Chain A
Amino acid sequence: MKFINQLGAYFLMLRGMFSKPENPKLYWKEFMHQCAEIGLGSLGIVAIISVFMGAVSAVQATYQIVNPMVSKVIIAQIVRDTVIMEFSPTLICIVLAGVVGSKIASELGNMRVSEQIDALEIMGINTKTYLIMPKIAAAIVTIPMLVILSMFLGIWGGRMTSSLSGALSVQSYDTGLMMGFIPYNVLFALMKAYTFSFIVTSIPAYYGYHVKGGSLEIGRNSTKSVVVSCIVILLADYILAALLL
């Protein structure tokens, strides 16, 4: 029952978000600000994770290919496909649920508790449109870019470890990358990225915007929002895979 109520409130919030901005210029400024916060703000962590992700999958693929009949070039293919289809979109977005999501939830929660949202509301501003919409829009614009970047970095990470460990030369790795490459996979990954970027912003925004009580609730709601976002991402991951593959 509580779940249905919350789901209803979540969709009401999303619907309430669509209203005419009181002053488009300020909304644009807020959008750009959020792009910087979300996009540039998580660039570092995304880069680090991606390189290691690619490196680790290359090492593990090498470890698993013991059969001398199997060409080692396949390592490049394994790295490429796991990074593009799963690691970059899903893993990165799960990390972003923690990085971006918890920030959104606690920021909005703090604004709610300290009555800043009420203050905006009293000025005659639609706070759902002003506070939530730019965040979701910025995430939808920047997170897929981060995911694409992460794909490149991941594949590069695999390439580097493969050549450093001597498992595979750079030339063979590159040949492997080109073998059996399906462009649709990238499209599939992007569709996942768009869906997940909506999830990692709208769910924390819901939890932050609806904080009741004091600062203790902010922390609680922010944790809850990360947990729920992660679960929903995995669920959506499964559904998208079942539908689109």
Chain B
Amino acid sequence: MIEFKNITKKFGEKLVLNGVSHVMQNGKTNLIIGTSGSGKTVLQKCLVGLFEPDQGEIIYDGISFTKMDGQERKILRQQIGMLFQGSALFDSMTVEDNVMFPLDMFTKDKYLVKLKRVNEVLERVNLIGANKKYPSEISGGMKKRVGIARAIVLNPKFLFCDEPNSGLDPQTSMLIDQLIYDITREFNTTTIINTHDMNSVMEIGDNILYLKDGQKEWTGNSKDIIFSENKNLNAFIFASEFLQDAKALRMMEAQKK
């Protein structure tokens, strides 16, 4: 569980996050949604300490992250997996070495054991046969999946994914969503996903935080979102006619029950 209170972050004069508070639950897929530039990435980076918030407190499982020193944060971070928006793969290493890196660093397992684990996660992200390729030789969507594989290889307690399925085709995108969802349930992970993919919102939105202009505008789950009367949220989520129809259909179905 990650709780944060009143997170405020400014870049120079620009107020990016304005007093955001929320609780990210374990065993649930917690989504942060919002338009491009609404501060999703900045919020995630504040939560893991890559940005220092100007105000507010962050609490990991009851322990204040804000008050931790460098060493304590380092130890906590060994339980964090993170997928960056730009994948952030190590470009001097092959796909296999990228995914194996956390295992090399933090386990004492034999090479073959590690290799087995690497292949296991690569298979889970539907990426087989790219083991020996370098990041510069694979597509953007593949990089994303390698990034996910690297983030989950140690079964982290806290999983942060910045737009895990942007740049993926709808089918792979659903597969990745399902994977993240399954891992979250299986290992009781506190998973935080930044997304503006409506499929993800509907399929795996256990706990959704909608950011607008750096503030918490709405929160709820994927069922609540259909009935929400929040104008901004509706305009954001159900942007196209197609999606509006889907919403109407879902509402009708729900009312029949």
Binding site for B on A (CB under 8 A): 22-23, 26, 110-111, 114-116, 118-119, 121-126
CB-based contact B84/A119 at 8 Å: yes
Q: Contacting A126 at CB < 8 Å: which of B45, B74, B82? A: B74
B91 within 8 A of A: yes
CB-based contact B84/A123 at 8 Å: no
Residues in chain A near residue B102, CB distance under 8 A: 123
**Roughly how many angstroms separate A116 CA and B105 CA in the complex, as a whole number?**
16
Q: Mark B70-108, 1 if CB is under 8 A from A, else 0.
A: 000011111010101010111100000000011011100
**Roughly how many angstroms separate A23 CA and B77 CA in the complex, as a whole number?**
15
CB distance from B48 to the nearest CB of A (A): 6
Residues in chain B near residue A118, CB distance under 8 A: 45, 50, 84, 88
List the 8 closest A-B pairs by CB distance, nearest first.
A124-B77, A124-B78, A115-B88, A119-B88, A122-B82, A124-B74, A115-B84, A23-B105
CB distance from A24 to the nearest CB of B (A): 11
Residues in chain B near residue A116, CB distance under 8 A: 88-91
**Roughly how many angstroms separate A110 CA and B86 CA in the complex, as a whole number?**
13
CB-based contact B104/A26 at 8 Å: yes
Q: Mind listing 25 A-B residue pairs with CB under 8 Å?
A: A22-B105, A22-B106, A23-B104, A23-B106, A26-B104, A26-B105, A110-B91, A111-B90, A118-B45, A119-B82, A119-B84, A119-B88, A121-B77, A122-B48, A123-B77, A123-B80, A123-B102, A123-B105, A123-B106, A124-B76, A124-B77, A124-B78, A124-B106, A125-B105, A126-B74
Residues in chain B near residue A26, CB distance under 8 A: 104-105
**Roughly how many angstroms separate A193 CA and B11 CA in the complex, as a whole number?**
43
Closest to B50 in A: A118
CB distance from B95 to the nearest CB of A (A): 15
Given contacts A124-B74, A124-B78, A126-B74, 18 further A-B contacts (CB under 8 A): A22-B105, A23-B106, A26-B105, A110-B91, A114-B91, A116-B90, A116-B91, A119-B88, A119-B90, A122-B50, A122-B80, A122-B160, A123-B78, A123-B106, A124-B75, A124-B76, A124-B80, A125-B74
Query: Which of A118, A122, A125: most chain B CB closer than 10 A?
Result: A122
**Roughly how many angstroms separate A23 CA and B86 CA in the complex, as a whole number?**
27
CB-based contact A114/B86 at 8 Å: yes
Q: Contacting A114 at CB < 8 Å: which of B75, B78, B88, B106? A: B88
CB-based contact A122/B89 at 8 Å: no
Interface residues of B in 18-53 (CB under 8 A from A): 45, 48, 50
**Roughly how many angstroms separate A122 CA and B82 CA in the complex, as a whole number?**
7
Closest to A27 in B: B105
Residues in chain A near residue B74, CB distance under 8 A: 124-126
CB distance from B111 to the nearest CB of A (A): 12
Closest to A122 in B: B82
Query: Which of A22, A26, A119: most chain B CB closer than 10 A?
Result: A119
- Known interface pairs A123-B77, A124-B74, A126-B74; A115-B105 also in contact (CB < 8 Å): no
CB-based contact B77/A122 at 8 Å: yes
Residues in chain A near residue B90, CB distance under 8 A: 111, 116, 119
